[in-house]
Amino acid sequence: MAMPMGLFSIAGFLQRSKHSVEIRHAGLEESESILSCAGDFEAVLLDLHWTRQALPVKKFVKQIKKKYPHLPVIIGGFTASYFFREILRDVLEIDGVVRGDGEVPAALLLAAIERGERDWSKIPNLSWRRRGRVVENPRAFSVDERFADGLDHACFELFPAHREYLHRCIYADFDTSSAQGEAHRYTRAFFYNPGRGCPGRCSFCGASFWTREMLDGRRGFYFYSLSKVLRDLSRAYAFGARTWRVSFDPSPRREYYRELFARVRKKRLGYRLVFDCFSLPSESFVEAVQKTFTPDSVLVISAECGSERIRRRNRSFAFSNDALLERVRRVRSRGLGAHVFFSAGLPFERACDIAETETLIRRLREVPGVGVTVCPMDLDPGSPMFEVPNEFGVRPALRRFRDYRRADFGTGIPHYRTRAFSSRAIAEAVERLREVARHAG
């Protein structure tokens, strides 16, 4: 449901480059409606960010090419960038893949298409076919701090279905309000990270690959300028966004956020905040959140498991269980929401470690108002457990793009096994932990 931020920045950049552009969402609109309007344009740019989009994107590409054989179809996004060679080899209806950042490549490519040029060898970051052979242009463009300052990540005017999009819940797995008759609490959400990259190397996350390969590994991460973030937040607010969803927390000291929140207060933007804490939130950060955002704001912490040993081996910014409990109590004492995520089947985890997770969930549920969600992990391309599975004792069932196209993601069974757990045993452990979360407290 949630669209990657890059779709907005690319669309806004294309408009500034004098191209006519619209953002369409296949999850909100009938595919026939999108197909009909595609004929009014000179190219179709499709996002293939999430791995679960692999089959729907392939099907949609075939529909486009069947109706408009002459129309260039270009894809981009994390999954497209990772599997670009296989995609161009196996999906002949796709004319090109933009690897990594797409603002300048997309603008140059559209200008070439408008001029009738089919030699795309000067387009940075583009892989494409010339006389049936795959050509890989150099990856010469990436968005740095200076370039990012001029991007618009809130150009909802280019998105005809933006009202419906904003009024749908996204990342609602932590939202218990629907069960309490308050389903409006987390609607009108603006998923917006005020920076890029990550210095961490969690076993299950592909962000470290993206930072290394697509951002050239520069400093691991950077924040956008405060003026740009305030501009984007204000624009989104004017379009009706009321929940700011953040999943970018690379610096445990959070000095940037404290300064940003002070400026948000001066702007009097009435956002509720849902913030993914990569490390435990400090007292000063919690105080800043309380002073800036509505009381139904939520701090989200991913503990992953109850074993501190397993946590240290699988995630950056690790912490102890006692420290987690103390922080959660402090968050709740200030009237803010606290939500903690867990999983099962982590690399190196054993049955006794699952029992520790059960114990920690029970302790957390004793704190009034603390939410707990248990989700199965799955294979994220570029993650350490995908890249070097033997080092993590993992046997993956998905290795290629075609595997993701054929995978069934609706069963809740992960597509890997560990030394201690089969895929089905992981799913059973997840369900057991969910039962504990439902009935504890």
Query: In the predicted model, is pLDDT for residue 218 greater than 60?
Result: no
Query: In the predicted model, is pLDDT for residue 214 greater than 70?
Result: no
Q: What is the mean pLDDT of residues 78-88?
A: 95
Angle at 305 between CA 299 and CA 307, to 5 degrees: 125
Q: Which of 117, 136, 155 is the last residue of a domain?
A: 136
Q: What is the mean pLDDT of residues 77-85?
A: 95
CATH number at residue 42: 3.40.50.280
User: What domain range is 114 assigned to?
Assistant: 5-136
Same domain, 189 and 47: no
Strand order in the sheet with 96-98: 44-47, 73-76, 96-98, 126-130, 133-136
Same domain, 239 and 371: yes
| Assigned domain for 115 exists | yes
| Assigned domain for 142 exists | no
| Assigned domain for 158 exists | no
What is the reported pLDDT for 178? 46
Same domain, 359 and 292: yes
Binned at pLDDT 50, 70 and 90, residue 187 comes out as confident
Are 285 and 230 contacting, i.e. CB atoms less than 8 angstroms apart? Answer: no
Same domain, 93 and 185: no
| Assigned domain for 160 exists | no
Same domain, 60 and 109: yes
Number of compact structural domains in the chain? 2
| Assigned domain for 154 exists | no
Q: Three-state DSSP class for 21?
A: coil
Query: How do residues 99-127 score in pLDDT, each as one tens digit?
Result: 999 999 999 999 999 999 999 999 999 99
How many CA within 13 A on the CB side of residue 433?
A: 31
What is the reported pLDDT for 30? 87
| Assigned domain for 148 exists | no
